[in-house]
Chain A
Amino acid sequence: MQEKQFDWHTPQKLSPYAFLFIIGKVIKQSWAFLLLFVGSKILKNNGGADDKTMGYFVCLVGGFIVVMSIPHVIQYFRFRIFIKDNELVVLKGLFTRKVINIPINKIQSVHAVQSYLHRFTETCELKIETAGEENTEVEIKAIDQEKAYALQELLKNKPATIDTITTAEPETILGVGFWDIIKLSISENHIKTFLLILAYLLTKMDDVRNLFGIDTAKKINQEADKINYTTNIILAFTVTILVITLIVSFIRVLLRFYNMKLKISEKGFETEWGFLQTQRKLLIKENIQSITWKNNLLQKILGIKILRVFMAGEKLTNPTQWIRIPIMRERLLEQISSIYQSIWPSQVAPANGIDTSYKWRNTLIVVTPLAVTAAVIVYFKSPWLTLIPLAVLIYFTISNIILQHNYTFWFHQNSIQILKGVWGREQTMLNFKNVQHIEIKTSPFLRAHHLCTIILHSAGEAPFTIPYIPVAQANYIANWCLVRVEFPETM
């Protein structure tokens, strides 16, 4: 698609359609007043309020909405965005002029979000993130779609001087089709989906009880007691739950991966996805902190992996903004990961494992005391119930044995890679240069066995932890990592 050229050195305004979003925001903020207004109208019809009171009310609601709108309208007119001396400058503010200067090279990601209203008005919500801020640094509610994409393109190139951009046409390497969606839906974590449905239903039941005073759980129990359970009924019930879970899984996959496209260029990736809300995100390769790809048992059988790219400045608590890419063929994974690290440590370095004591320590210290305590408590209620904590204990014992057995890591000059998992598999790769700080932890047991746990903290992911490895090996990794961070010129 040929994108229109914009002169970003000239201050750009918000789209006129931003007014629609302002109205929406004001209605959202003054819904209580509107509700009151509607209520009083009904009262009037029932003879509860006279014309004068109604007049006051209309004035009050109208005045309130006008007052609420003024700041947004002023902000609309005062908003400007442009590039000056390799800095993205945002001018905004209500009573005081606020100037935000973001050096172009500090921008970590540019995220364009399109809801239906955005699509209808050909606008975008634009979110610009930097590493220094926990929250999104700049959030533009409605900017012309073409302008937004042009800005994304411009920031992707991030040159030394913004005037000397050379645009290379990105190559589309992934497109998620209908059958991919079906495959992904089938291989979703249905237990998780089922638990989500259950949690949702329980919340709704609680709401019904609070609002109408009906004890829904009791009612369901009473009705359930009346049913004569036959094999057919149980089977039908199971199938219904399975179908509902599958449908919900399908919807979740649809929302996450529908129409996903991934373009790759020398500078990084460009992803686009979304069903109800289209999101377009730019991933600049220098800002990628680590990558993870994983699959559950079903995905492993179907040959699917889900790749997650962790960016600096990314909001880890907001899953809607996570970059998750479904990998349907191995070649694609290599192609995408090569942007971050062209040679995987697992391809060239020997495999390392963790100490065998890891498999029983966790079971002995955490799971066993909890299971025994639970067993003692439930024994007095019904001796048969002790089978549940016992089953949990067996499950975790087996899981920990498998986890220790599968835990493998590799490292070479530039990167470290971990493979772990019990039933599914998860692989994480972290370039040493992205490590922010190193932590080496020991306990009396670990010290007695000359072992330790090394934690590599990075800007984009939960700590990268390798437990129960020899102290000498941990020191070697730490020292090597420091060399990569502190002497980048040797790379």
Chain B
Amino acid sequence: MEYNNPHIPVTSIPQFQEIPLQRVETDYKKVLYFNWSIVFTIVIGILVAVFISNKELHTWWAVTIAVITVVCSMAITTASIEIGFKNRSWALRDKDFVFKNGWLFQSTHIIPFTKVQHCILKTGPISRRYKLASLRFMTAASHQRDVSINGLSQIDAEKIKGWIMEKNIENAREAI
């Protein structure tokens, strides 16, 4: 058996980490704030109802704990939106898509176009108001860990989707 393991210098292969990433649309922050404000309104509403209906909770410490918990949750959410937003960025290369997100726990995803089975473009009622869209890449990875990129402009999302489809058709032709 002949063993073959030549050295490949790092510089000779494309480096995904060196490409500049583009941030998602600033308006997406408004969408995030809107979505979270709905969540907090519901949570506060439930808490108020529980506190009014249950007399055992009419104590200063119970109210203080609830208020502190809600305020802390709101502070963490705000921080995660503000700081996390700075990290939410993407880049399109000739053969793959790079996407980064997260605040404390950050993730970078690289999805080669050849592995994309199909992509889904999604818009919600709030996103539509700001002309934003989400793009979901479906690959054959069996454990349902497909990547969604939120906060793209509708035009960009359409262009990326078109580009990927075009690339896939090109690859299929080459394969034939």
**Chain A residues proximal to chain B, CB less than 8 Å:** 131-132, 312, 314, 316, 342-343, 347-349, 412-413, 435-444, 447, 457-463, 475-476, 478-480, 482-483, 485-486
Contacts and interface: CB of A to CB of B under 8 A. Distances in A.
B117 A132 contact: yes
Contacts of A462: 143
A442 B10 CA distance: 22
Given A437-B115, A440-B108, A463 B143 contact: yes
Contacts of A482: 14, 16, 95-96, 110, 112
A413 B96 CA distance: 20
Contacts of A437: 109-112, 115, 137, 139, 141, 145, 147
Contact of B3 (A348, A435, A458, A463): A348
B13 interface: yes
Contacts of A457: 139, 141, 143, 145
B54 interface: no
B107 interface: yes
Given A413-B5, A475-B17, 11 more contacts: A342-B1, A348-B5, A437-B147, A438-B109, A439-B107, A439-B109, A439-B145, A459-B142, A479-B13, A480-B8, A486-B96
B64 interface: no
B110 A438 contact: yes
A211 B109 CA distance: 53
B103 to A, nearest CB: 10
B5 A483 contact: no
B5 A486 contact: no
Interface in B92-151: 95-96, 104-112, 114-115, 117, 137, 139-143, 145, 147
Per CB-CB distance, the 5 closest pairs between chain A and chain B, nearest first, are: A459-B140, A457-B141, A486-B95, A436-B139, A436-B141
24 contacts: A131-B140, A343-B1, A343-B4, A349-B5, A435-B115, A436-B140, A436-B141, A437-B141, A438-B110, A439-B145, A441-B108, A442-B107, A447-B106, A457-B139, A459-B141, A459-B142, A460-B142, A463-B143, A479-B10, A479-B14, A480-B13, A482-B16, A482-B95, A482-B96
Interface of B: 1, 3-6, 8, 10, 13-17, 95-96, 104-112, 114-115, 117, 137, 139-143, 145, 147
Nearest to B17: A475
A412 B109 CA distance: 22
A443 B105 contact: yes
Nearest to B117: A132
Given A437-B115, A482-B16, A483-B13, A412 B143 contact: no
Given A437-B112, A438-B110, A459-B141, A475 B3 contact: no
Nearest to A317: B142
A412 B4 CA distance: 9
Select the residue from A343, A435, A437, A444 with max chain B CB neighbours within 10 A. A437
A413 B7 CA distance: 9
Given A437-B110, A440-B108, A442-B106, A483 B143 contact: no
B142 A479 contact: no
B3 A476 contact: no
Contacts of B137: 437
Contacts of A438: 109-111
A440 B17 CA distance: 11
A459 B5 CA distance: 27
Contacts of A444: 104
B3 A343 contact: yes
A480 B6 CA distance: 13
Nearest to B147: A437
Contact of B114 (A342, A412, A447, A486): A486
B16 to A, nearest CB: 6
B110 A478 contact: yes
A333 to B, nearest CB: 15
Given A349-B5, A413-B5, A482-B16, A439 B108 contact: yes
Contact of B112 (A342, A348, A480, A486): A486
Given A482-B16, A486-B112, A443 B141 contact: no
Nearest to A444: B104
A347 B3 CA distance: 9
Given A349-B5, A462-B143, A441 B106 contact: yes
B53 to A, nearest CB: 30
Contact of B15 (A439, A458, A463, A475): A475
Contact of B107 (A348, A413, A441): A441
Contacts of B112: 437, 482, 485-486
A343 B109 CA distance: 29
Given A413-B5, A457-B145, A440 B107 contact: yes
B4 to A, nearest CB: 8
Query: Of residues A441, A476, A486, which shows the largest number of chain B Cβ atoms within 10 Å of its Cβ?
Result: A486
B144 to A, nearest CB: 9
A483 B105 CA distance: 27
B38 to A, nearest CB: 29
A189 B167 CA distance: 49
Given A436-B141, A475-B16, A412 B108 contact: no
A434 to B, nearest CB: 10
A462 B109 CA distance: 17
Contacts of B142: 314, 316, 458-461
A348 B3 CA distance: 7
Contacts of A413: 5-6, 8
Contacts of A412: 5
Contacts of A443: 104-105
A162 B104 CA distance: 54
A438 B117 CA distance: 16
Given A439-B107, A482-B112, A476 B96 contact: no
A479 B10 CA distance: 9
A475 B114 CA distance: 20
